[in-house]
Amino acid sequence: MARSSGLLDTLLTSPTTERYRVGISLLFLLGVWLTVGSFSQGMPNNMLLMAAAVIGGYMAINIGANDVANNVGPAVGSGALSLGAAVVIAAIFEASGAIIAGGDVVSTIKGGIIDPSSLEEGRAFVWLMTAALLAGALWLNLATWMGAPVSTTHSIVGGVLGAGIAAGGWGIADWAVMGKIAASWVISPVLGGALAALFLFAIKKTVLYRKEVIPAARTFVPWLVAIMAWAFGTYLMIKGVKKIVKVDFMEATLIGLAAAAVVFFVMRTLVGRMASTMENSSAGVNALFTWPLIFAAALLSFAHGANDVANAIGPLAAINDALSADSVVMSANIPLWVMMVGALGLAVGLMLFGPRLIKTVGSEITELDKTRAFCIALSAALTVILASQLGLPVSSTHIAIGGVFGVGFLREYLKSNYATQLHKIMEHHDPAEQERLKPFLDDFRNASVEEMENLLKRAKKKKQVPLSKSERKRLKKIYREELVKRSHLVRIAAAWIITVPASAIMAAILFFTLRGLLI
């Protein structure tokens, strides 16, 4: 099994297979074109519907390539899942979420950002939605190529906004709604990062920093996993299966509590059994979070498929209804073929192009272990629940990435805090003892956060010499660069900021191009 998983990992990441990925994508889109063409013969504007279906499939591929990385990236980076296993699990649960819980009716204008009633004719609406869909897909493709995880919802929102303004002028847009969306650029990552850092700090204080890790783990880990079970149970009720079973927040919370109670007793039993063979260290505690992380990756993928598939199939369903009725539609029925285009496109995009972003999220921003990845997954579910009850606009992509940066910056803070203690301890020692400092610095540079406290105690006991001011600055800089890659932070933040305007500009250009070609 391990050998086959390793082979799959190699195939997914090998540069030599890039042309095959592109070729398989084109075959999928050709299949969409031929399938839609086979049952739309004789329908008015069937060529336009076929083209829209291909664009919808292209959008779904790009959603799978970019957005799904946030659900499984931490599990892969921590080693809970191999890349191949993560791709297979996510593809199955993304497609299942889209098909089972994707819904029968979708709002044609995501979030009410424009008022389509001001459009004069149905053809303009079709051009608008086609341009928005293609612009969102193109921007996602570019972001994936750059290695920047961005919000697919913001991509399609920008596309609808730009094409809408091109079709109906500036007055067609609801700028209050756009203001809330802009606010989510800050709200989402800050909330996600703060919660992830808070949980990681709590785990360190209650378990990892204890002298006897095993008794602490037996006490606290079942509670932590139970909190995750409550969060995911509630999250799936209000976001994942709301189109199958209608429940209010209180009912969703009670279902989550029932799941949490079962998980608590199961985890308490399992941790008790593992305690006798468990290593009395952070590595032993990490092993306890492997299965919770696997379930979290699967459940996040299911909920994502149920919700974000609408970014691909919503505009396509709207085009399908508008072409049939020759009018503007505010909500559209989702035929099975439209849902299948979205679900299969998500899976194809994830399996062919997702590994690049999965590696970025899982290992290139900051180093993740299972404890940190657990905090990120828990933060993602809790932030969505909190934001939905407060009426705050949030992006699941921004939440997950904020969580990754949150745990990274917490580690930086803890290390710099230890470094400050080290400097204070050693600053009054004789500079002539520099040679005694060198081996200590070598150990300090390679130490984990947990190991640094012991090093500091040893330094105090042995009265190691102080660092110079320039050496202190260099030490802090090394830790910052090691723990959180600033280049990734800048690139991702820049991509988030320009997502809406970039897709809006592309959509406006595409709208004018389509109108010029089809009039």
In a domain, 424, yes or no: no
CA–CA distance, 176 with 194 (Å, rounded to integer): 27
1 has a pLDDT exceeding 50: no
* Res 3 pLDDT > 80: no
Question: Do the domain assignments include residue 465?
Answer: no
Token pair for 341: 């285009």
pLDDT of residue 2: 47
Domain of residue 513 covers: 7-212+280-414+481-517
The per-residue pLDDT for range 434-486, each reduced to its tens digit, is 556 656 666 665 565 556 556 655 655 555 545 555 655 555 555 555 677 77
Better-scored residue on pLDDT, 239 or 434: 239
Q: Give this prediction's pTM.
A: 0.81
CA atoms within 13 A on the CB side of 39: 10
State the CB neighbour count (10 A cutoff) for residue 1: 7
- Tell me what the pLDDT averaged over the chain comes to: 81
- Per residue in 109-132, pLDDT (tens digit) is 555 677 777 776 768 888 888 999
Asked, for residue 313, whether it belongs to a domain, the answer is yes
Q: What is the pLDDT of residue 334?
A: 79
Contact 328, 125 (CB under 8 A): yes
Least Cα distance to 354 among 20, 39, 63, 41 occurs for 63
* CA distances for 424 relative to 209, 435, 447, 477, angstroms: 22, 19, 19, 18
Q: Could you give the CA distance from residue 15 to residue 19 in angstroms, rounded to a whole number?
A: 9
Residue 172 lies in a domain: yes
Whether residue 461 lies inside any domain: the answer is no
- Residue 84 domain-assigned (yes or no): yes
Give the total number of structural domains in the chain.
1
**Does residue 229 form part of some domain?**
no
